[in-house]
Amino acid sequence: MAEINWDSLRAEAVLAMQKSYSPYSNFAVGAAALTADGRVVSGCNIENASYGVTLCAECSLVSDLFRTGGGKLVAFTCVDKSSNILMPCGRCRQLLFEHSAPGMLLETISGIRTIEQVLPDAFGPRELEERS
């Protein structure tokens, strides 16, 4: 895999965050990822008055992944409205795992980690293929 330009990827996450719709929490989030074929996909959180149907930035990013041709994610970062790096919640880690290449890198508050490190013993499409 080519060297990841984390500054550039983070800048894309910041641009996405600036489009956040977060009137209830006032907690804007932006995410950006590099795909295996070199595209950058991004997303932002989109809140809803009924809270439970709020879309996180990672969901929005996965939608952008498929809108632009699908594929696998190889590097990911997420930021808040102050451009601080965020760690995806457990639900979002599972969502990212589903669409990750093995060893996908995440920029976290404690440094660069693989998807397997931030979601140990995960279960997803690769495990289903191995067991069938």
CATH number at residue 114: 3.40.140.10
Domain contains 50: yes
Model confidence, pTM: 0.94
Q: Which residues are catalytic?
A: 58
Q: What is the reported pLDDT for 108? A: 97
User: Is 49 among the domain residues?
Assistant: yes
- Report pLDDT for 1: 57
- Our count of domains for the chain comes to 1
pLDDT of residue 120: 93
Is residue 59 within 8 Å of 79, Cβ to Cβ? no
Report phi then psi at 129, rounded to 5: -65, -40
pLDDT tens sequence for the chain (132 residues): 568 999 999 999 999 999 999 999 999 999 999 999 999 999 999 999 999 999 999 999 999 999 999 999 999 999 999 999 999 999 999 999 999 999 999 999 999 999 999 999 888 888 888 877
**Structural domain includes residue 25:** yes
71 located within any domain = yes
In a domain? residue 1: no
Range of the domain at 65: 6-131
Q: Is residue 46 part of a domain?
A: yes
Instruction: Please name the residue that has the structure tokens 């760690």.
Output: 87
Strand residue runs (E) in the chain? 29-35, 40-44, 73-80, 100-108, 111-114
Type of residue found at 2? A
Residue 17 forms part of a structural domain: yes
Residues 6+ apart with CB under 8 A from 90: 119
